[in-house]
Amino acid sequence: MLDALRQDVFEANVELVRRGLVIASFGNASGVARDEGLVVIKPSGVSYADLRPENLVVTDLDGRTVEGDFRPSSDLPAHLVLYRAFPSIGGVAHTHSSFATSWAQARREIPCLGTTHADYFRGPVPVTDAMTPAEIRSDYERNTGEVIVRRFSDLDPSAVPAVLVAGHAPFCWGASVGDAVHVAVILEEIARIAYQTVVLNPEILPLATDLGDKHFLRKHGPGAYYGQK
């Protein structure tokens, strides 16, 4: 199980680079083995060009290193908060992709303007509150996760599997680390389309809820009928 998860997390991190969602050592992906209580994550600051499956770090859900010679990603505490708060998720991907990060820096949610967005997110992609000076000074990375969880106090993380951390960048998640990376790819595309849409028509209104729900629910949930069984 752990060897398979290690390989999945390695391939997910490589896919972030291949898709152009990270440069240098920005960004990371992790996966969780819930039965074992273990997390596999990219090591801190290691270039993607030098990354190997054996470089990945295994920790427990309290952040203690179980396997690995490197320090885990500095974002590990945020990932751990998400794993504890959202028990249905199996992977997290954090990027600084251009368009999604632009919305995060602008401190604007990504509105649902069309069915491309609605196919993957039921409603806008939310943005968190800005972190307080106290949150930044103390346990910054853990508090990054906490500010995300607070934003989802009235949202379903399975219906909106991504968030923009104000002034920072996006975090995405899914049932597996591969799914989390797929969400990150889709998020960047809908962020780009939304940006172009509001440039072309600054007065554009959000997509009608009925139409948005139709597109989301035909792909997700017990009544989904899109694709093959």
Per-position pLDDT tens, the chain of length 229 = 789 999 999 999 999 999 999 988 789 999 999 999 999 999 998 888 889 999 999 999 999 999 999 999 999 999 999 999 999 999 999 999 999 999 999 999 999 999 999 999 999 999 999 999 999 999 999 999 999 999 999 999 999 999 999 999 999 999 999 999 999 999 999 999 999 999 999 999 999 999 999 999 999 989 999 988 7
**Which pLDDT belongs to residue 161?**
98
The confidence score (pLDDT) of residue 41 equals 97
Clarify whether 226 is annotated catalytic.
yes
User: Residue 40's beta-bridge partner residues?
Assistant: 31, 58
Can you tell me the distance from the alpha carbon of 204 to that of 90, in angstroms, rounded to the nearest whole number? Answer: 36
Among candidate residues 60, 140, 156, 226, the one labeled active-site is 226
Quick one: CA torsion of 149, 151, 157, 162, rounded to 10 degrees? -100
Sequential DSSP letters for 24-87:
TT--EEEEEETTTTEEEEPBTT--GGG--GGG-EEEETTS-EEE-SSPBPTTHHHHHHHHHH-T
Catalytic residue, chosen from 60, 119, 129, 213, is 119
Both structure tokens of 121? 């997110």
Reported as type and span, the H/E element at residue 118 is helix 115-118
Residue 107 has φ and ψ, to the nearest 5°, of 60, 40
Q: What angle do CA 7, 88, 67 make, to 5 degrees?
A: 35
